Amino acid sequence: MNGLIENLYEEQKEKLTDKVNVNSFSLISVIGKGSYAEVLLARKKDTGTIYALKILKKNKIEQRNQKTHVKVERNILIEISHPFIIKMVYAFQTEKKLYFALEYCPGGELFNLLQKKRQFSEENARFYIVQILLALEHLHKFDIVYRDLKPENVLLDKDGYVRLTDFGLSKKGVKGNKEANSVCGTPEYLAPEVLFRWGHGKAVDWWTLGAILFEMLTGLPPFYTPNREDLFQKIKYYTLKYPAYLSFNAKSLLEGLFRKEPDKRLGGGPNDAEDIKAHPWFEGVNWDAFLRKELKAPYLPIIQNELDVSNFDPEFTEAPIGSFGDTIQEPGQNYAGWSYNGSDSLQNQNGVQIQDQSLPNSQSGFQMEGLDNQQDNKMEME
């Protein structure tokens, strides 16, 4: 009975505080999609502020038992503030859909930049890896493991700096290397302990940091093969071979991040990110200058105006709004307490803080059985 009363209270509170809704925005263009989500460029009508509006279909969430993951994503976006993590300003819902209003990063995905450049120099790769490392370090300080680092989940702002996005597979309350058990992530970036089902934790993020660095430097993810079973066997048992052109320190860093045993992996111990930051490959890095965004990015996005979507995949931007997924949807459940109204200003992105800790615990992952969502290339199985 107490739970019912609490839910009714949350619903009433939501009706009173939900001042922002889908009618508050003008929808402009598709900039991303998944199996039950799409991301739109949108302008808030009263302020003119541009947002990325992430829209999730309730019926798909509920069919795939993803409700808990969606709530975790919402709460992380509210609780965490960091210069290299995407900022959420509003959350609201309709009968059929859930909405996140996120800061818009007009530089598009790091994936698209990497596709154009093929591979980066070590100096340029370091610019991005430093920021990703700082973002992961911040999450780990609050016992959050990200679990889905890949170039598609790293966005670039107008100045070429990064934002981690898509926390649909993240997990809270992870203090070490064993507390999580789901087989989830993107196949090419899975750590061995996930595939072995040893239990996993923060060290999986350092494996994926190595994977994204390897891809930046070579043009392909580590152990890459189009055959998924072969890929998993290589991740579990093979020793990675490195191109001769990699520097000694780059190879040494990658070898440390690709240790199969999570407790022996660089960053896998109690010092977490500090052990990685102390590696010679990062010698001379001014970490505070990165946090203050004082350095010039190696690649500055070409942006014609605030509505320019040319840095996103034309497969998305040329599609009509609402053209992905089901045209007929059944109403979903009410998500009590879902709404969030943050500041309408996106100017202050240099602060590093943690917000209200009292809250409860993409393109989200598909279930491993049947691999029914190949386009997302993401997986999850309890």
DSSP summary character for residue 243: -
Q: CA–CA separation, 266 vs 209, rounded Å?
A: 11
Give the pair of three-digit tokens for residue 307.
């509505």
Query: Cα–Cα distance between 256 and 266 in angstroms, integer?
Result: 5
Q: By the 8 A CB rule, do 203 and 263 touch?
A: yes
Q: How far apart are CA 177 and CA 174, in angstroms?
A: 8
Instruction: Spot the catalytic one: 148, 166, 205, 376.
Output: 148
CB 204 within 8 A of CB 251: no
Q: Residue 291 corresponds to which tokens in the numbers above?
A: 């946090």
Identify which of 222, 175, 202 has the alpha carbon closest to the alpha carbon of residue 262: 202
- 65 and 327 in contact (C-beta within 8 Å)? no
Hey, what's the torsion of the CAs at 246, 250, 253, 254, to 10 degrees?
Answer: -30
Residue 47 exposed, middle or buried by CB count within 10 Å (0-12, 13-18, 19+): exposed
Place of tokens 């896998």: 268
Name the percent of the chain in helix, strand, coil, to the closest 5: 35, 15, 50
The first and second tokens of residue 140, run together, are 């780990």
Name every residue whose Cβ is closer than 8 Å to that of residue 308 and which is 6 or more positions away in sequence.
106
Distance CA 335, CA 357 (A): 20
User: Do 37 and 362 touch, CB atoms closer than 8 A?
Assistant: yes
Of the candidates 269, 271, 372, 361, the residue with the CA atom closest to the CA atom of residue 71: 361
**Any catalytic annotation for residue 148?**
yes
Query: Which residues have a catalytic role annotated?
Result: 148
